């Protein structure tokens, strides 16, 4: 709890003056003001985060957190639980979508086992920080203890600190955990009070009966555990997931170090809302990569006033949408740093 408390206390506002200087430079470039839309907004945001009128982009890192969920026992997923472990091995063998897209974006993947169920994976590229082998079934009891949820959040803080110390200048959130749209929907329902029919999607592709089971499981979990919506860690402990907790820590840790965080889809943005509830300054360090097919994702983004950069009908997770956004973020940095001003180019501006 000491690390978490220290991290929360270290998250402050961004450098508004640097953002204003970035905006002035953008307005002086050879284009109509604002004509590059979201690219300009990203450049200003990065400048404010870094405290530099012209931001820079160095190492890009994808933080993939993996954990299992006891609620899978309730038939809420189209895939069996062992797929979590199998897909993590696929990540480590560089065979998944996140590997392909990260290679394209020249980003490094850091995979961490926060709570995978089953035999330990032995691989030199896997960070084993297992808090417990999957959460408990939240339909029957709280998913985690107080000690476990704090430990999982602090895993995320420690891992992102390590990568920033190694030179990461921007991080993306990624996850793997069969069944994790169920706890994400439960967290969203608790924190926003929205109707389950509006925020619960099909996840990995459950059929109509599976969707009914999923909503019923969430409703039962909320009734049995009665999480306190005013206490984000209580919500996370009772109806959350280990990898969601770790991603919450990644976001908090990055914000405390003044490093931008690119959010992936529904699960990652659920972690972002929890981080935001723990310290409202966090949202200034977040870039929403895309709008997923999960119905609750739009609500999460609206809750924090975030605008998605892409709309590609993605619903894979892993960090895929966030990595795709890396390319646009890099473009935004190149625009503000390499494009000529009207004066430099000898181009007439206004009459």
Quick: pLDDT tens for 284-319.
999 999 999 999 999 999 999 999 999 999 999 999
Does the fold of domain 59-328 match that of domain 2-54+336-345? no
Give the mean pLDDT of 161-186. Answer: 97
The string of pLDDT tens digits covering residues 100-143 is: 999 999 999 999 999 999 988 999 999 999 999 999 999 999 99
Indicate the helix (H) or strand (E) that contains 37: helix 37-50
What pLDDT is recorded for position 8? 98
Query: Which member of 154, 294, 318, 330 is catalytic?
Result: 318
What pLDDT is recorded for position 80? 93
Instruction: State what percent of residues in the chain have pLDDT above 90.
Output: 92
**CA atoms of 178 and 253, how far apart (whole Å):** 25
What pLDDT is recorded for position 291? 97
CATH no., domain 2-54+336-345: 1.10.1610.10
Give the mean pLDDT of 213-220. Answer: 94
The two structure tokens encoding residue 269:
């943005």
**318 catalytic per annotation:** yes
What pLDDT is recorded for position 147? 98
Return the SS3 of 348.
Answer: coil
Q: With 80 as the cut, is the pLDDT of residue 204 above it?
A: no
Burial of 307 (0-12, 13-18, 19+ CB in 10 A): exposed
**CA atoms of 338 and 29, how far apart (whole Å):** 10
Q: With 80 as the cut, is the pLDDT of residue 165 above it?
A: yes
For residue 157, what pLDDT band results from cuts at 50, 70 and 90? very high
Where are the domains positioned within the chain?
A: 2-54+336-345, 59-328
Q: With 60 as the cut, is the pLDDT of residue 351 above it?
A: no
Are the C-beta atoms of 251 and 286 separated by less than 8 Å? yes
What pLDDT is recorded for position 44? 98
Instruction: State what percent of residues in the chain have pLDDT above 70.
Output: 100
For residue 83, what pLDDT band results from cuts at 50, 70 and 90? very high
**CA atoms of 98 and 318, how far apart (whole Å):** 6
Are the C-beta atoms of 133 and 117 separated by less than 8 Å? yes
What pLDDT is recorded for position 212? 86
What pLDDT is recorded for position 320? 98
Nearest to 25 by CA among 329, 348, 338: 338
Q: With 90 as the cut, is the pLDDT of residue 89 above it?
A: yes
The rounded radius of gyration (Å) of the Cα atoms in the chain is 20
Give the mean pLDDT of 219-223. Answer: 96
Dihedral of CA 233/237/238/241: which sign?
positive
The string of pLDDT tens digits covering residues 237-263 is: 999 999 999 999 999 999 999 999 999
**CA atoms of 306 and 298, how far apart (whole Å):** 9
To the question of pTM greater than 0.95 for the whole model, the response is yes
Q: Where are the beta strands (DSSP E) in 181-255?
A: none
> What is the second-level CATH architecture of the domain 59-328?
3-Layer(aba) Sandwich (3.40)
Q: Distances in Å between the alpha carbon of 142 and those of 105, 118, 135?
A: 39, 21, 9
Are the C-beta atoms of 167 and 258 separated by less than 8 Å? no
Give the mean pLDDT of 269-288. Answer: 98
The string of pLDDT tens digits covering residues 4-53 is: 999 999 999 999 999 999 999 999 999 999 999 999 999 999 999 999 99
């Amino acid at each position: 709890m000491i690390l978490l408390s220290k991290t929360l206390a270290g998250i402050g506002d961004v450098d508004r003056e640097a953002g204003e200087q970035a905006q002035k430079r953008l307005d002086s470039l050879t284009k109509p003001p604002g004509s590059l839309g979201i690219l300009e907004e990203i450049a200003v945001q990065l400048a404010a985060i870094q405290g530099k009128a012209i931001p820079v982009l160095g190492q890009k890192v994808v933080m993939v957190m993996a954990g299992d969920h006891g609620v899978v026992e309730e038939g809420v997923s189209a895939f069996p639980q062992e797929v979590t472990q199998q897909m993590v091995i696929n990540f480590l063998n560089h065979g998944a979508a996140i590997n392909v897209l990260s290679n394209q974006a020249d980003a490094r993947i850091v995979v961490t086992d926060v709570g995978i169920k089953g035999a330990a994976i032995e691989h030199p590229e896997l960070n084993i920080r297992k808090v417990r082998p999957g959460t408990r079934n939240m339909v029957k009891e709280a998913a985690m203890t107080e000690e476990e949820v704090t430990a999982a959040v602090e895993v995320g803080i420690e891992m992102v600190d390590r990568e920033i110390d190694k030179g990461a200048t921007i991080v993306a959130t990624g996850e793997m955990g069969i069944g994790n749209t169920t706890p994400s929907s439960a967290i969203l329902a608790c924190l926003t009070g929205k109707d389950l029919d509006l925020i619960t999607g099909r996840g990995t592709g459950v059929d109509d009966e599976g969707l009914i089971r999923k909503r019923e499981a969430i409703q039962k979990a909320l009734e049995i555990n009665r999480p306190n919506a005013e206490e984000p860690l209580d919500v996370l402990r009772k109806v959350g997931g280990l990898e969601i907790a770790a991603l919450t820590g990644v976001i908090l840790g990055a914000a405390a170090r003044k490093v931008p965080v690119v959010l992936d889809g529904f699960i990652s943005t659920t972690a972002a809302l929890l981080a935001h509830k723990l310290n409202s300054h966090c949202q200034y360090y977040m870039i929403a990569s895309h709008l997923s097919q999960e119905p609750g994702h739009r609500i999460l983004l609206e809750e924090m006033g975030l605008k998605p950069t892409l709309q590609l009908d993605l619903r894979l997770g892993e960090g895929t949408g966030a990595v795709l956004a890396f390319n646009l973020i890099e473009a935004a940095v190149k625009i503000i740093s390499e494009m000529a001003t009207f004066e430099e180019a000898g181009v007439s501006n206004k009459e």
